[in-house]
Structure 1
């Protein structure tokens, strides 16, 4: 995964947090969903971003959003799906 794409994901996640009034620092391992920082609507936005940016199909009904609970997990997931 390119540095530009990682930066794009980080910026979008930070934007989702800021839209919800969360301006706390975001570390790569910080929980996004289990911590309550982001909700299911934000998860949908994040999934759409990953689909658009990386061409990943996340439409499967059994997709587990917990695989996207931190920036580190998002990066690992994208790297795994990109081969």
Structure 2
């Protein structure tokens, strides 16, 4: 899953360093919205504005954890 999410995000946000532990700091509001929207569609989960937190978007690993949590809630 991690590599699939990496590929999705690399295609959508080529200027963002996905290996950074400060990923959230590199994102603007459009980048955050794009991530939430694409992951919602790709995995059939509901991600909302309340999910756009530094904890959830800190790194690629934290994004994967967020997706896994939402999948477990389905």
Q: Is the shorter-chain TM-score for this pair beyond 0.5, marking a shared fold?
A: yes
* Structure showing the higher helix proportion among its residues: 2
The one-character-per-residue Cα deviations of 1:1-52 (angstroms, maximum 9, x if unpaired) are xxxx422211232230x2x4x5x5x42x622122xx2211011110011111
1:33 matched to which residue of 2?
24
2:68 matched to which residue of 1?
79
Q: Which structure: larger Rg?
A: 1
Q: Which runs of 5+ in 1 are unaligned?
A: none
Shift of 1:56: 1.3
Question: TM-score, structure 1 length as denominator?
Answer: 0.65
Equivalenced residues, count:
69
Q: Which runs of 5+ in 2 are unaligned?
A: none
1:55 matched to which residue of 2?
44
Question: TM-score, structure 2 length as denominator?
Answer: 0.72
Superposition RMSD on alpha carbons, in Å? 2.1
Shift of 1:76: 0.8
